[in-house]
Structures are given as C-alpha cells and as structure tokens.
C-alpha cells in the first residue's frame, strides 16, 4: 500500500483522492473547509484541516509522511495578490513543512499551460520555453521553480482547461465582459478523468524534473465547439454563446507527447468524446 497526500481538495484534488482511495491506498487530503473534511472522511480519506494562506501565527503545520505528494492548490480569486498567496507563499509553507518528513518518492505539482502565454495559435510542447505574458503567469512559473528547486524529487504537470462532471465546459466559450464578440481562440482541454488517470502513470513513470502537459489530443477553436454542439440533437433548442471574431488568432496549441510517451492512453482524447459523455449524463 502506498501513502498519498493530496494538498488541496478542490475539484481536481478531490477526484484524485477519491480515485486512489478506491484503489485501497492510504490517502490524506488537505482542506481548509470543515464541510469538505467531513466529505473526505465519508470517502475514507483522512482530512488535514488547515488554511495555508492563513496567519503565520498558527501552530506549525504537520504534513503526514507520504510516498507521493500531489500539490493541487487553487486561489479564491484570479487577482495577482490571491495568486501569490496561494501559489508562492502557501506552496512555500507546504514545502517547508514537508522537510520534517522522510523524502517522498515523488511530488507532482499541478500547474497551468498559462505559463506559455499567448502564442498566436503556434504549437507548444514541453520543451518550449515558457513566456508568461501576465503577472499571474509569471507567478505560476515562479511557483513551479520553487517546487523544482525544493530538493524533493518533483515534476510539473501543466494542465489545460479542465472540464467534467459538475464543471460545465460551456463557461469557457462565453465572451469576455464588455466584448461584443469573443476571440476565436485555440483551447486546450482535458477531462477530469484523464487528469486522474494520468496521475498513476506519472507516479510510476514520471521523470524527476520533468514537464508534462495535461491536455487532450486535439486543440480546438471555440467556434468549432459551438458549431459541433449546434449539430447535436440534444442541443438544437439550447442557447449557445454568440459568434466569434475571426480576424485574429489567439491562444496556443499544446502537445501532450511527453505524457503519451509514458504510455498514457486518454479516455477522452478530444472534446467531442468528452462533451458527448456529459450530454448523455445531462451534465452539459
């Protein structure tokens, strides 16, 4: 039996914790919510209740010793201040507390493809140097480097847009506030089940210091998704997002070749298969 610690029991962290507990592994999960702690206990996951963004005067944080650590923290809001408190300060406290434990086999840090910035539709792969074009992106990259330089065996799993049960992917297609039309940007998506499935492969075969992109096989433009949805029988009477600007290309197209080289096979290799499953389950 392996011992696994999930730092952050949000949408993704909770799914990872649930999966490994179903495999009869010993799992702990960090949360700052008493309600979430009760939910974790009901799944057989041992909760560690603590707000890493809280006051530094709290008692020292004790992290359970684990063979594998997954860091899946998320900020309350998308402000630069919240990003820094979560991804740099809170992760720093977590790494400091882990030094009291035996060295884990591996730390998997969940990051974002946002560190690459906008590439005007160009292809991006794991070896592409990150070029964040916002302060939030620079903070994300700083957090990655902090993990890689921590002295622990660690890898970075940069995720694209996450969707799945209880997370409606149509929200990613909406126009930005104040815009009459949204840009027809490239999107790089990944279903929640594929994040969870990839975690076992990363634990067993992931390379220390490695960078892996958590995206499916097919980058897709917003307009292609809405066009596909409009042709689905169950969506013909639904209100879809408005049209998109087509005079410019934005976003990037991300390759998952490093992850697939480890032998991972996607359950939902493109948005069509993932969205169809959500339509059938009435989640979309």
DSSP string, 24-87: T-EEEEEES-HHHHHHHHHTTPEEEE--TTS-TTSPPP-PPP-SEEEE----SSSSHHHHIIII
Per-residue pLDDT for 22 more than 60? yes
Across the range 53-57, mean pLDDT stands at 64
* Domains, the chain: 3-165+190-216+253-268 (3.40.50.720)
pLDDT grade for 243, boundaries at 50, 70 and 90: confident
Residue 236 has a pLDDT of 67
Average pLDDT, the chain: 91
Q: What is the pLDDT of residues 163-201, one digit of tens each?
A: 999 887 776 676 554 455 677 889 999 999 999 999 999
Per-residue pLDDT for 47 more than 90? yes
Q: What is the pLDDT of residues 92-120, one digit of tens each?
A: 999 999 999 999 999 999 999 999 999 99
Per-residue pLDDT for 232 more than 60? yes
What beta strand segments (E) does 75-132 contain?
Answer: 106-112, 123-124
Rounded to an integer, what distance in angstroms lies between the CA atom of residue 90 and that of residue 98? 12
SS3 state of residue 4? strand
Residue 157 has a pLDDT of 98
């Amino acid at each position: 039996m392996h011992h696994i610690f999930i730092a952050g029991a949000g949408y993704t962290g909770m799914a990872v914790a649930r999966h490994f507990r179903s495999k009869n592994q010993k799992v702990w999960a960090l949360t700052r919510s008493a309600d979430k702690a009760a939910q974790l206990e009901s799944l057989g996951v041992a909760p560690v209740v603590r707000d890493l963004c809280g006051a530094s005067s709290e008692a020292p944080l004790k992290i359970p010793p684990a063979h594998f650590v997954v860091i899946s923290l998320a900020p309350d809001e998308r402000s630069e201040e919240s990003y820094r408190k979560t991804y740099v300060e809170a992760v720093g406290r977590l790494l400091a507390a882990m030094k009291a434990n035996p060295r884990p086999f591996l730390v998997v840090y969940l990051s974002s493809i946002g560190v690459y910035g906008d590439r005007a539709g160009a292809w991006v792969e794991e070896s592409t140097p990150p070029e964040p074009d916002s302060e939030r992106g620079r903070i994300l990259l700083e957090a990655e480097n902090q993990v890689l330089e921590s002295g622990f065996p660690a890898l970075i799993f940069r995720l694209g847009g996450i969707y799945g049960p209880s997370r409606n992917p149509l929200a990613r297609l909406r126009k930005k506030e104040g815009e009459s039309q949204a840009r027809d940007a490239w999107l790089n998506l990944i279903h929640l089940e594929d994040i969870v499935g990839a975690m076992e492969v990363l634990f067993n075969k992931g390379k220390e210091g490695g960078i892996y992109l958590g995206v499916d096989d097919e980058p897709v433009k917003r307009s292609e998704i809405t066009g596909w949805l409009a042709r689905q029988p169950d969506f013909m009477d639904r209100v879809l997002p408005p049209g998109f600007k087509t005079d410019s290309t934005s976003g990037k197209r991300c390759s998952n070749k490093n992850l697939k080289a480890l032998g991972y096979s996607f359950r939902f290799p493109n948005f069509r298969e993932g969205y169809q499953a959500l339509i059938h389950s009435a989640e979309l």
